[in-house]
Amino acid sequence: MSQAAVRFAILGFGHHAVRRLLPAFARSKDTSLVGLWRRNQAAAQEDCATHRIAHCFASREELCASPEVDAVFITSPDAMHLDDAMLAIRHGKAVLCEKPLAMNAAEAGAIAEDARTAGVVCGVAQNFRWNRSVNFLRDQIAAGLIGKPQIAQGHFCYAAQNAPRKWIADSTLACGGPIGDVGVHSIDALRYILNAEVASISTLAAKDDLSGDVEAYAAMQLEMTGGVFAHVISDARSPYRTLLEVTGSDGVLTAENGFSVDQPVEVVHRRSGQVVSTTRIDNSDGYVLMLDSFAGAVRGGAAFAATVEDGVRNMRVLDAAYRGWRSGQREGV
């Protein structure tokens, strides 16, 4: 690790930090994890001791004010992102915030405006933008491999009832159910892969006995710029599965398990129903690449690929998706 490593503290430390972020920080060349805060101070002390994290901050304010911290990684529940981000920005810290950026586009826009005014780097942890499989799809489509993109699919399914994040079904803490939690990954990935924006969206969604005030599963149809129609599935009641697929005028690219970082992904190129090629891609360094990219942006290098403005755009799509569910109508973004 270089002496110029960007020093991070995690605000809202929990299961995601242990499972994904700690291993990424350990492999990162350009960042170091120096501190954390979580509401349960006894658990925070235990985490710091177990993972050998130097600073166990007693409050959010102490973390954000610390001269030992250059950047704050916000992993708290969605409803806390606005206050957490603004607190860090007021203290001049760079901010990397988990998705979705906020509870709605208005809150996301307020974060973006504060970051611009303060002149600090602010990004969203849309980590799949650093997946090698996602970038392979983006590059091959841009090179014209399948002709003009016409139809796209992004599926993200998981069994939320078995997950440790119980707050995801609490509408006072979560932006929504799987639309806001993982649908945003599909929406963001399709925007990124196709270099396109969402113009309108229609939504079908359903609740169940476990979902509280949020949806349990949903299907969305997206009209995107460039004449692309996309289908996004977000399901919090089925076994884990992800899919990215783009059909063009001259072929199809399919990535079963396209978002996976736990096993290699096979991207299959088909034309006229025949397999042309299969490319096996390892995404295991996706979180590491995201951290190092953010560190580079903090140092004044290349712009971070998932800017706070991208977070605002994604929130506008989520807002339209939830409006469409309530209205039963196609909604503009």
- Work out whether strand 6-11 and strand 71-74 pair parallel, antiparallel, or are unpaired: parallel
Domain-wise residue ranges, the chain: 6-125+288-304, 128-283
pLDDT by residue for the chain (333 residues), tens only, comes to 445 899 999 999 998 999 999 999 999 999 999 999 999 999 999 999 999 999 999 999 999 999 999 999 999 999 999 999 999 999 999 999 999 999 999 999 999 999 999 999 999 999 999 999 999 999 999 999 999 999 999 999 999 988 888 898 899 999 999 999 999 999 999 999 999 999 999 999 999 999 999 999 999 999 999 999 999 999 999 999 999 999 999 999 999 999 999 999 999 999 999 999 999 999 999 999 999 999 999 999 999 999 999 999 999 999 999 999 999 999 999
- CATH of segment(s) 6-125+288-304: 3.40.50.720
Alpha helices by DSSP H, listed for 234-307, are 286-298
* Topology, domain 128-283: Dihydrodipicolinate Reductase; domain 2 (3.30.360)
Dihedral, 128, 131, 135, 140 alpha carbons, nearest 10? -120
Q: Where are the alpha helices (DSSP H) in the chain?
A: 15-16, 22-27, 41-51, 60-65, 81-90, 105-118, 132-142, 178, 184-194, 286-298, 308-327
